[in-house]
Chains A and B, each alone.
Chain A
């Protein structure tokens, strides 16, 4: 069998397993649960155990770029780019630890299923804030999902030779089936499968790479003779400057606790023990993936020296150092990374539309059957929308995606954090924080991409936070009953 034949068969097996999870979950769910359909379908009934919580957090957070673009940059820039990637090590303990059990407790108290639910209750049902929040989630996430779909289909195309559009269609159908049938629970379980697959792929490829390069010492001296800059923390010709790389502490570590699709997982765990376990497993696994894949990317320069396209570094290396079946297995890892990020975002967008817009403003008294139908239909509709967008991506989508990650952080970081920890933060302040945050991020990114050597996210967070506090203190404090609801017994 040819190489691409092996890969195609493995991919099919993998996709069948993912689909199977959706079917199994929907069978189990028919027995019914006490939490109610919306909580079950969009938040897994608040019952995630530790391992699944850790894996779904890691897998949601780890996108295709950690397996393709990132290692490709390490290939070009050397160990400095691995240093940059390691900033993500604390992301799991920061997200779970700073939002903390407090977020989970409050979520149960007020029955929140989405991040917008939390914001709406905390900021006293402010309709403007609810609608802008839902708007930013839908627009930024849809653009981000379409961009990932595009990347995923391109990889399958280049590896298997299958037609790009067909790849997209197969990809979408699989995700749609398990999303529609199993909702959040299926997503979380498939994320665990994907996270495990990514970990195994990373370890296997690392071992094979070191072996093929004749040991670490030989690889390093080879890299040194190519360009000594590859061994420094500064990248080639000082590409990775200290202020710029330090900004990534805000962008890819601390700021990520504001990403709604990540934060919502901090409401989904079952009990304290699950959270404790997830902090430890999540940190070990994210470290393994980030350190492993990026170091492999840096080492690859010594083994496959002439790769021109950064995204092709890992596929080229895998085919060179592994047996075809091994390479095919390893190369499902980037696909797993993409699928596990996209599914979480999709189910989150559907949840936002159903819970935050439909149930709040259009039909608060909808009965369970109707909500169920709508939720499943909404998941399907969003997958189809994204499919349509990625078959022929409009330039607006590409443009919006540039701001998606930082834009979501700018929109939600302070409203979420201040809502949890400040009794003084109010609706007016957080509307100001959100709008000024998103506006500054877009402005800096397009007009002044390295202000004082920093990444745009740093001034954005400062502006958003200061504006949020100022406006909060200049306007009346929240009502005592709101404070009681969130802080009281």
Chain B
């Protein structure tokens, strides 16, 4: 399709933020899967224990929560920008993008 119109400049930043969240999700899935089945596939008698919990569970679930809460915080802090959302916002979108 011919796009003979100017795209809303805010969408470039929006797309970047979406990709950041998708990458975070992929990492989250790998973390969840890797620790759960990487450490948890042995017989329970061979499990290592951390803070009393089975090692796979500690890493995949407990640390998964801690790590991805911080990861979400830093992803937002580093990559997300304070852009205007209002309809009138486009006109100032250029200079409105501030951190």
Contacts and interface: CB of A to CB of B under 8 A. Distances in A.
* Consensus secondary structure, chain A interface: helix
Nearest to B62: A291
Contact of A272 (B6, B22, B64, B82): B82
A480 B45 CA distance: 65
Interface stretch (A25-33, A122-130, A215-223): A215-223
Interface string A89-121: 110011001101110110011000000000000
A216 B65 contact: no
Contacts of A232: 40, 44, 54
Contact of A484 (B5, B18, B56, B81): B5
A271 B83 CA distance: 8
Contacts, number: 156
Nearest to A245: B36
A63 B67 CA distance: 25
A194 B22 CA distance: 29
Interface residues of B, number: 59
A279 B72 contact: yes
Nearest to A273: B82
Nearest to B83: A272
Contacts of B77: 276
B72 A283 contact: yes
B87 A108 contact: yes
Interface in A185-233: 215-217, 219-220, 224, 228-229, 231-233
Contacts of A82: 57, 61
Interface residues on A, range: 35 or more
Contacts of B61: 79, 82-83, 86, 291, 295
Mostly, the B contact residues are: helix
A423 interface: yes
| Chain A CB within 10 Å, residue with most, of B8, B36, B61, B86 | B61
Contact of A489 (B6, B13, B86): B6
Contacts of B45: 228
A242 B51 CA distance: 26
Contacts of B64: 86, 89
Contacts of A79: 54, 57, 61
Interface in A274-325: 275-276, 279-280, 283-284, 287-288, 291, 295
A61 interface: no
Contact of B40 (A94, A233, A275, A280): A233
Which 3 residue pairs are nearest across A and B when measured between Cβ atoms? A97-B21, A216-B52, A217-B52
26 contacts: A79-B61, A82-B57, A83-B57, A86-B64, A89-B65, A90-B28, A90-B68, A97-B18, A98-B22, A101-B17, A102-B14, A215-B52, A220-B54, A228-B45, A233-B41, A246-B33, A271-B85, A272-B81, A273-B82, A276-B77, A279-B72, A280-B72, A283-B72, A288-B65, A477-B1, A488-B8
Given A287-B68, A489-B7, 16 more contacts: A83-B36, A83-B61, A97-B17, A102-B11, A215-B52, A216-B53, A217-B52, A220-B52, A228-B43, A246-B33, A249-B29, A271-B85, A272-B83, A273-B82, A483-B1, A487-B5
Interface of A: 79, 82-83, 86-87, 89-90, 93-94, 97-98, 100-102, 104-105, 108-109, 215-217, 219-220, 224, 228-229, 231-234, 242, 246, 249, 253-254, 271-273, 275-276, 279-280, 283-284, 287-288, 291, 295, 423-424, 477, 480, 483-484, 487-489
Interface of B: 1, 3, 5-11, 13-15, 17-18, 20-22, 24-25, 28-29, 32-33, 36-37, 40-41, 43-45, 47, 49, 51-54, 56-57, 60-62, 64-65, 68-69, 72-73, 76-77, 80-87, 89-90
